[in-house]
Structure 1
Amino acid sequence: MGQVNKINTEASYQSVMAKIDGLMAKGSGNVSADELAEIRRLALSAQAYEQELYVVDAPSTLSGMIEMRMFEMKLRQVDLAKKLRVSPAKLSLILNGKQKADVDFLKAVHTELKVDANFILEHV
């Protein structure tokens, strides 16, 4: 596989994306192993550029952190409630700031969602 080239400009990024689109337009059954490797190399370059350009700020609230973890884990709110061992109604109240989180809930957020304990303490 070829070396991943660093993308430094928006024009270079657009060019790489056009190359990826062109190769992918052939269809998965019509690309060679070399073309698949090229797609992967180009995609890694584009991903590195995007990660430098589009920095997402960390959540600044406990509910924001919980919602981010829910998104990352691809959980629906009802599934998250089950994982945190609370009712969906209680989870909704906590996320909307209408009910304070209790210690058991905060422990579950730490253990089940892997939210740093210091972050939790600073945001309750």
Structure 2
Amino acid sequence: MKTVTHKEYIEANLSLETLLKEVSNDTLEDASQMKELIEVSDVIEQYEAINFPIGLPSLQEMIELRMFEMGLKRKDLAILLNTSASRISDYLNGNREITLNIAKGLHQKLNIDSDIILQ
């Protein structure tokens, strides 16, 4: 696969703006504008994947997000994971590595992806 240059990326973005005004949900897939839209989108996606990669969130960020979503305070999370609030603080501040039991609890009870836990 050919590497996309910055110039090609800029041109693709400009084309995308124009095409989005011309293409709608009713546009047929084999229409030339739709084909061009897909090609332009692929160029943009390829360039951004190399130059602006989005990594996994940190485990601390993910725990804090789940706590927010579930309305949990640190003491609530400690009860849920059968540990102490100070231990939760140590995990969130990066002062302590999580144990296997805590990792399992984060995965099962907070639905945190194992890839994030193991990174």
Identity among equivalent positions (%) equals 20
Change in 2 beyond 3 A, CA 1:100/1:7:
closer
**Distance (whole Å) between structure 2 residues aligned to residue 22 and residue 78 of structure 1:** 40
* TM-score, normalization by structure 1: 0.53
TM-score under structure 2 normalisation? Answer: 0.55
Q: How many residues align?
A: 102
Alignment of 1:100-111 (within 5 A): 104-111=101-108
Unaligned runs of 5+ in 2: 78-87
Query: Aligned AA for 1:106?
Result: A
Structure 1, unaligned stretches of length 5 or more?
none
Q: Are 1:110 and 1:116, in contact at CA under 8 Å, matched by a contact in 2?
A: no
Q: How does 1:1-124 map to 2 (within 5 A)?
A: 6-26=2-22, 28=24, 33=29, 34=31, 35-56=33-54, 64-67=58-61, 69=62, 77-79=67-69, 81=70, 87-90=72-75, 91=77, 93=89, 94-97=91-94, 104-111=101-108, 112-116=111-115, 119=118
- 1:48-73 CA distance string (max 9 Å, x none): 111112245666xxxx2342x57xxx
CA-atom RMSD in angstroms: 4.0
